[in-house]
Structures are given as structure tokens and as C-alpha cells.
Amino acid sequence: MLLIKIALKKSILFLSAISIFLSPSPVIAKGNSELNFQNLISKRKNVSEIAWKKNSSVLKKSEPKLGEIKISKGPNTIPWFNEVTKSLTLVSRSFPSFAEPNRVQVIQFNFTDLNWATSLVKSLVSAEVYDQMNQQEGGRLLESGCSFEAKTCQGSKQVTSSDGQVFLFIGVPNVIPPNNDERYKSGMLEAHEYFHSLQKNNISNQDQKPEFWPPRWFLEGSAEWIQNASINYKNFKKYKKYIDQECKSDQSCRTISKERILDYLSQSNRGNGMSQYDSQFAYSLGSKFVEILVAIKGTEPLLKIWQESGKGIGWEMAFAKVFGEDWNTSYPKIAEAVFRNLN
């Protein structure tokens, strides 16, 4: 009897061992591999590549939906870049789900042709509309991007008139400013200004008070980011070099502290009212903030935010509706990621 019990115990142990050996290993659930606000800090070094890939993927499979593009060049103006429609097309393809202007008037002019450009604009709109446009730009609709002392025009801007006409004013400098060859020769400048027209085209209420609009870093940072991502959508190395160089060439950006980045972002609810900071931050730092947002959720939010903000709900609520996250808990993570990547 004892021998039988021992034999049975051994058999049970043997069968148990077989059962354990044959049982499938427990499945360990993998964490979410997508970039999000929760893993942003740990995955911060991948932000540039993720953002670039998301835009490139959309752009490659999209068709342009540009409206009519009318290009006027001053009689004495020789542009640094001549494939304007191509540049605008790349931006268009990055946003396949959004409306675009029916017609865009591009005016290229140098200092010698400044009066010609002014006369052309006056011929395209009524006197009342021109006065409104001029007042909106501080009485210097075209002159603001020109230096009368150096006799050159190197500033560009996008203006939408009160009667709905869309203008891209492209100042053509006599000599390209230092470290700006790619901006002037690749079509980035034109891409930047055209994106501004998409922002305004997607505001549900263009008369909404500016305090309800997105902050200036989002306004300019988005245009700065998309000009690079769209023009360099086939070449990550060129994209990366440009976005990195933008801050390196700006002393105040290159040496900025994390506390200052945090304070800058904390004032985003003030819309464009962030004038106590270097105006270049909206471009150099803004493009890095935007890069993170694109890496997390793609390019659509860059215009969706404008649609929501135009409803008068303010930046925080618009951000929450588009990203599904609270702005006040998100921006410290953005600041931390940008600061660490800069250093």
C-alpha cells in the first residue's frame, strides 16, 4: 500500500511538471509605443523623426487642392525663388482635410518696386478696403518689411483683406541675410506665408477678439515648422539640420533656461500678448513646441486649433478639445522635453 501511494505521488508530481512545462507562457502586454504626453520626456530624442514622418506620410499620399494662384513680380525684381506654386502645393498636401483660399495673390517686390507693389494692391481692392488693410498693419502695409536706410526689402507677410482677398507679400532683398539661404532659395518663405492664410481661412469667426486666438508661438511656430517639414519632406537630415540650427543661431534661444521656457508657455492664454519675450522665440522655440504637438497627434491639430479658437473658447479649452489633454499639465512636459533636447 505504501509503495502504491509513493508511486501515485511520483506520478502526480511528474504530470504536474509536464503540465507546467506545456502551459503557455503568460502574455506580457506591451505598452503604448505611440508618443504621448505621458512618455514624452523618455522619448524626447525621437520627437523630430516622428513628427517629420507623420507629415511626410500624409503629404506623399495627398493631392493638392490649391485655388487660383496669381503671381505678380515687380518690373525690377529678380526673386531668389521662382517655383512659388510648387512650394504652396506642398503645404496644401500636408492638410488634405481643410479648406483653402479660392484665390491667392502673390506679390514679389524689391525696394525699387515698392511703389509699384503699393499701386498694384490699390488697384485690386477698394480704397476703403486698402485703408483697412493699411491700418491693420500699423500704416505700413508693405513698408514694414523694408529698410529705407539700407534700401532693401526682406520682410514678407500674409494679409487677408476685409473683402476676403488673400495676399502674400514677398519682399525680395538685394542680398540674402546671413544664415538664411535655405529660407529664401528653397521656397520656405512662400510656404510659411501661405500657411498663415490657411490659419485665417480656418477661423470660424475672423472678427473674434485676439485674446481668444492661439498664442503667438503657435501662430508663427506652426508656420515655421511646416515650411521646413513640407519643403524637406523627402530629406530628414535637411529637416533636422534646419530646425536645430534655428535655435543655435539665436543667442537668447540657445541659452534659455527651463524656468524661462516654462514661464513663456504659462502665458499662452494671453494670445499674442507675450511681447516681454524676444519676438524670435515665437519662431525658434515655437517651431520646437509645435514639433512635439505634431509628433503626438499629426499635422491636423495645427489648423483644428484655429477652428476651435475661432469659437471664442480660448486657448486652454481649444487645446483640451483637440488633444484631449489639460494644457496646464501638458506644457511643463513640453518645456522639459524642449529644454533637455536643447541641452
* Residue pLDDT, tens place only, 46-62: 999 999 999 999 999 99
**pLDDT tens digits, 110-151:** 999 999 999 999 999 999 999 999 998 999 999 999 999 999
DSSP 31: P
Grid cell in block for residue 35: 508618443
φ, ψ of residue 144 to 5 degrees: the values are -60, -25
Residue among 97, 95, 115 at smallest CA distance from 107: 115
Between 27 and 222, the more confident residue is 222
70: β partners: 105
Q: Which residues contact 77 (CB under 8 A, 6 or more apart)?
A: 108, 109, 110, 112, 113, 172
pLDDT digits (tens, 9 = 90+) for 250-261: 778 888 999 999
Helix (H) or strand (E) holding 146: strand 146-147
| pLDDT-wise least confident of 5-9, 93-97, 203-207, 240-244 | 5-9
Fold (topology level) of 44-342:
Neutral Protease; domain 2 (1.10.390)
Does the structure show a pLDDT above 80 at 36?
yes
CB-based contacts of 292, cutoff 8 Å, min separation 6: 40, 47, 51, 334, 337, 338
Closest CA relative to residue 315, chosen from 268, 280, 276: 268
Q: Which of 75-89, 239-253, 278-292 has the highest mean pLDDT?
A: 75-89
CA-based end-to-end distance of the chain: 78
Q: What is the pLDDT of residues 186-216, one digit of tens each?
A: 999 999 999 999 998 888 655 556 667 899 9
